[in-house]
Structure 1
Amino acid sequence: MIRVLVADDQDLIRTGLRMILENAEDMEVVGEAEDGAAAADLAAATRPDVVLMDVRMPGTDGLAATRRIRAELPDGPRVLVLTTFDLDEYVYAALRAGAAGFLLKDALAADLLSAVRAVARGDAIVAPPITRRLIERHIGAESDPLPRTVAELDRLTGREREVLELVARGLSNIEIAERLYVTEGTVKGHVSAVLAKLGLRDRVQAVIFSYECGLVRAGT
């Protein structure tokens, strides 16, 4: 069973999320929190596999809670941030704080369950085009590449660099395979090599790295 903690300040949303999650045969909700501080405390007490974390909450927000969970429980739950596009202005910071990804609150129930399963097995949810613009907004089209990260690109082969760029643009492994006329397994191998060579934890960090080093620019 995938054990999930739900953190949101709105009771109606928590109830809806609980119903969706508990209707899945492979999930159970181990707790609910209405603010970030309570979410961090419950995460330590219940040790869930995944925390569904709202960004905007009174008191301790989702960003601070994510940082605390990742600091206090580095091998503990993975955080999946729930966001409302154009309202949450620090989702990028949440990813930097260690969140495994983020999902729009108006996502379909099936997409929510898929995201929870993906995060639980160690994958990361890279933003689709609409939420990818949030990342672009916070890095900025005019930001200068970081010299250290630019140099690190030289560790990659030409094909690995190409795969990294497509990952940063939000393409899935299947979409990358179709674009490059290779198998999905080949793409997975390239992605694993890229993460290992650059010392990145997951695809979310790969996206952030790509923007920060200038491999991909906002609006392109």
Structure 2
Amino acid sequence: MNLSVKLNDVLFLDIETVPEQENWQLLSKETQELYAKKTEYQRKEEFSASEFYERAGIWAEFGKIICISVGYFVDVKNKKQLRLTSFFGDDEHQLLSDFKVLLDKHFAKKSNVLCAHNGKEFDFPFIARRMIVHQIELPKKLNLFGKKPWEVPHLDTLELWKFGDYKHYTSLKLLTSILGIPSPKDDIDGSEVADVYYKEKNIQRIVTYCEKDTVAVAQILLRFNNQELLKEEDIVSV
């Protein structure tokens, strides 16, 4: 796979989301009704809306972002180094604002692109929707209004792996496994994030998990380009 984009122009990212409230009882009656309607198709008759609320984090209307981890390549002594940083915490408005500053100041060039696994279906629109909720002006890299498909500055490793087969879904864990990339899913998985956040109150564990996913996405793009994978010493938190 010969991608025309330069790796140093790519901002790799991953987000972690949870239900906006810890439990169903904390929602207003109106929000409960809206959630029940929104999830009716997915739930069918298997779950009540309250039982299904643990999955609310996958919808931007009922969830919130608690961590955005990003990574970008720099050249150091003729080697590629991946630098990682994370925006996280209980204040979603603040972490989204800080992420916007990063995009506007350091990744606003025409050549810059965002890259995530399933990013076009999840990460990118989720971030944009939550910014709208918080009345944060969208950075150019997330404002797709009026853009033609080939002008959208987004890469999606899931989409690249599909090779046009839109019925095909491959998880990040599966893709890293078959490509010989160290698994990022060695502690928790997405279904456990809400419990770790609300019950364990261990945000640092979630940040570590999110950063590992970000590294995995960068490694996948390296493999797609038939380039050498990063070693542990090539990954630096900043």
**Category of TM-score, reference length = shorter chain:** under 0.3
Higher strand fraction (1 or 2): 2
Larger helix proportion, structure 1 or 2?
1
Task: Tell me the TM-score normalized by structure 1.
Answer: 0.25
- TM-score (norm. length: structure 2): 0.24
* Bigger relative CO (Cα 8 Å, ≥ 6 apart): 2
